[in-house]
Amino acid sequence: MLRDMTAVDFDALRAALERRLEVVADRDFYARDPAGHLAALQDASAAVDRLAASLPADADPTLRHYLERQSYVKAVAWLEHPGAHHG
């Protein structure tokens, strides 16, 4: 379950997800510097992947599903309100 993660892990995962969503949405950055935008996206994605891989084996299957399917908006919503319906 998510509660087995430390508060720092919880916050770090949510922050990494939010950062990735911000990079994806930053069309001005992409237009100004496509290579820099790609590098930022790769860094943000790597952080999400690293933190997702560190979830405990008994992490909530819904959260795992969102992360595996890259449903990052839903994952952030789940992290903010575990157990609520985010469909």
| Mean pLDDT value across residues 9-23 | 95
C-beta separation of 48 from 20 below 8 A: yes
Summarised one tens digit per residue, pLDDT across range 26-62 is: 999 999 999 999 999 999 999 999 999 998 888 899 9
**N- to C-terminal Cα separation, the chain:** 20
**What value does the mean pLDDT take over residues 10-39?**
97
* Helical residues (DSSP H) of the chain, grouped into ranges: 7-25, 27-32, 34-53, 61-68, 72-80
- Determine the average pLDDT of the residues in 64-73: 96
| Backbone torsions φ then ψ of 21, nearest 5 degrees | -60, -40
pLDDT of residue 2: 46
